Amino acid sequence: MALSKPIGVFDSGIGGLTIASAIKRKLPQASIIYFGDTAHLPYGDKSATLIKGYIRNISNFLFEQDCGHLVVACNSASSVLTNDLLPAGYQSVLNVIDPVVNRVVMETGIQTVGVIGTRRTINSHVYRNRIKKQSESLLVKELATPLLAPMIEDGFVRNSISRSVIHEYLKRLGPVDALILGCTHYPLIRTEIQEYIGNDVLLLDAPDLIADQLVKENDISPNQSGTDHFYVSDFTESFEQTAQSFFGASIHLEQRSIHPK
């Protein structure tokens, strides 16, 4: 399929920029329209009903911006995502859970897989259920780690506080052969997690898997401009500063309110 229309990427906030950045690295010619729902952040502690309403409104907005592809770059949103929430007409829709699940079940030699994420993601058991559907024998250990996302957003990475929080959580999880980083923010503490858990444990997260899937499924059309827009539902300077560390380059955030139809 030709990727001739922009790729819509959305998250509860700026964490999904880790996904947008991986897409941009692998598909520099593609145009990305990003929407971070900073007015409603965090999704991880919200009800499924509320998040479904946000998905409906944002996916409509991105479709109206002429996006042909939608990437739901938020684990909490992906855990409650159903097709009936989306406008008909997207050429493809990707969530951040399935590529990781498909990858982990392909691995040989893994018996126990851990999953960490927000309360919404973990309490939905979405990873466990989808893994078990494909590989009944895998033992899945789930742990909600709600302190990690705000900690990372506040810049607490690679210091004594982040190390203590990570160690305390991972101690509770116990030994695993693979660990799924089931939240958009966690790529920023991937190295710290790997250092604690050891190089023998396979760490899995969505950014590169999503980008690879877009590359595999689509031909980039030469008429793409490669121009990106980064919208947020609530703008603050601190969001713009933090956005840099998630995207890996300085970007300009534009405020845009979405009104339900």
- Smallest distance, ligand DGL to C-beta of residue 96, A: 7
Check if 183 is active-site: yes
In order of 81, 114, 134, 199, the CA distances from 45 in angstroms are 16, 21, 28, 32
Check if 67 is active-site: no
- Smallest distance, ligand DGL to C-beta of residue 207, A: 12
Burial class (CB in 10 A: 0-12, 13-18, 19+), 109: exposed
Nearer to ligand DGL, 104 or 122 (CB): 122
The number of CA neighbours under 13 Å toward the Cβ of 169 is 22
Nearer to ligand DGL, 205 or 218 (CB): 205
Which stretches of the chain bind ligand DGL, using CB under 6 A? 11-13, 15, 41-44, 74-76, 117-118, 121, 149, 183-185
Q: Are 238 and 21 in contact (CB under 8 A)?
A: no
Catalytic residue among 104, 183, 189, 253: 183
- Smallest distance, ligand DGL to C-beta of residue 12, A: 3
Q: Of 24, 26, 41, which is closest to residue 185 (Cα–Cα)?
A: 41
Q: Are 128 and 140 in contact (CB under 8 A)?
A: yes
Q: Using only the alpha carbons of the chain, give its radius of gyration.
A: 18
- Smallest distance, ligand DGL to C-beta of residue 119, A: 8
Q: Are 32 and 55 in contact (CB under 8 A)?
A: no
Residue 187, helix vs strand vs coil:
helix
Q: Where are the beta strands (DSSP E) in the chain?
A: 2-3, 7-11, 32-36, 69-72, 92-95, 112-117, 139-144, 178-182, 202-204, 219-220, 229-232, 254-255
Nearer to ligand DGL, 5 or 103 (CB): 103
Residues 6+ apart with CB under 8 A from 168: none
Nearer to ligand DGL, 24 or 46 (CB): 46
- Smallest distance, ligand DGL to C-beta of residue 111, A: 26
Residues, the chain, total? 261
Nearer to ligand DGL, 6 or 44 (CB): 44
CB-nearest residue to ligand DGL: 44
Q: Give the active site residues.
A: 74, 183
